[in-house]
């Protein structure tokens, strides 16, 4: 089972920058030069209403670089050792800042190209503004990775069937929805999932959704692996 998430985004803002000695460069960038790139541990920028984070937050990490043509088309080249524990969560973030009951819609589309080796998941990471609750939606996974907490059964919501896990990492509650089958592209209707947690299960109240992140939670990518977000949209109403 993968290590706990420990609030990646908040941790990235609080932790000091560390020299990782990145040596990979931007081998995964497209032929045309990306408009932004970074190999810094906490490298980040805003593009087209999204914030891109390199976000190498776990212990024992190797090197990693992120590139972006836009906030919705970006990728990562990562060379993390084949050891346990999450090393990074490079992601694109869209700020929502609305209570669940004031949302009329919250949807996302994704299209990714991911490696067939390594250990990682492609996931949404959804936070309330107080960082008390974390909702993860795993759309695909490869290798020895698994969600935090105990299984709560399966549910069909938001356009897919998920196995639900509930746990706590010592900092916040984590509700993980693992898609029944791997998917490289699709649409997720996020709002019914949040309402199911709130209204059906009562695991939280009318919390304010702070942001929706989408990226790659990488445990190992020894030798260097590329991850590409061909397209991503997050829309709230």
Number of domains in the chain: 1
For 127, the domain range is: 8-236
Encode pLDDT of 178-191 as tens digits: 999 999 999 999 99
Domain assignment present for 1: no
* Under 8 Å between Cβ of 215 and 8: no
- Cα separation, 87 vs 154, in Å, equals 28
Domain assignment present for 178: yes
Domain assignment present for 16: yes
- What global pTM score does this model have? 0.88
Domain assignment present for 3: no
Encode pLDDT of 65-116 as tens digits: 999 999 999 999 999 999 999 999 999 999 999 999 999 999 999 999 999 9
- Cα separation, 144 vs 158, in Å, equals 26
Of the chain, the end-to-end C-alpha distance in Å amounts to 36
Domain assignment present for 147: yes
Q: Which residues pair with 220 in a beta bridge?
A: 119
Domain assignment present for 217: yes
Residues above pLDDT 70, as percent of the chain: 86
- Cα separation, 39 vs 55, in Å, equals 10
Q: Is 9 left (phi over 0), alpha (psi -120 to 50) or beta?
A: alpha
Domain assignment present for 158: yes
- Cα separation, 90 vs 75, in Å, equals 9
Both tokens of 103, joined, read: 């949302």
Which pLDDT score, from 0 to 100, does residue 188 have?
98
Q: Check which CATH number belongs to the domain holding 188 and give it.
A: 2.60.120.180
Q: Cβ of 127: how many Cβ atoms within 10 Å? A: 24
């Amino acid at each position: 089972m993968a290590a706990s998430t420990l609030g990646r985004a908040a941790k990235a803002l609080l932790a000091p920058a560390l020299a990782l000695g990145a040596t990979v460069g931007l081998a995964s960038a497209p032929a045309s030069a990306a408009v932004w790139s970074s190999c810094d541990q906490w490298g980040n920028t805003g593009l087209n209403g999204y914030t891109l984070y390199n976000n190498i937050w776990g212990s024992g990490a190797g090197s990693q670089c992120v590139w972006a043509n836009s906030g919705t088309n970006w990728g990562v080249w990562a060379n993390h050792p084949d050891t346990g524990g999450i090393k990074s969560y490079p992601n694109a973030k869209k700020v929502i800042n609305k209570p669940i009951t004031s949302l009329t819609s919250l949807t996302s589309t994704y299209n990714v190209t991911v490696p067939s080796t390594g250990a990682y998941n492609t996931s949404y990471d959804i936070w309330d503004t107080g960082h008390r609750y974390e909702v993860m939606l795993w759309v695909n996974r490869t290798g020895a990775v698994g969600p935090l907490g105990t299984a709560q059964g399966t549910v069909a919501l938001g356009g897919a069937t998920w196995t639900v896990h509930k746990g706590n990492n010592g900092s916040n509650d984590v509700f993980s929805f693992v898609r029944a089958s791997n998917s490289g592209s699709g649409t997720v209707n996020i709002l019914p999932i949040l309402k199911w947690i709130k209204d059906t299960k009562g695991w939280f109240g009318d919390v304010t959704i702070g942001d929706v992140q989408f990226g790659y939670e990488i445990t190992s990518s020894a030798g260097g692996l590329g991850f590409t977000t061909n397209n991503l949209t997050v829309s709230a109403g």
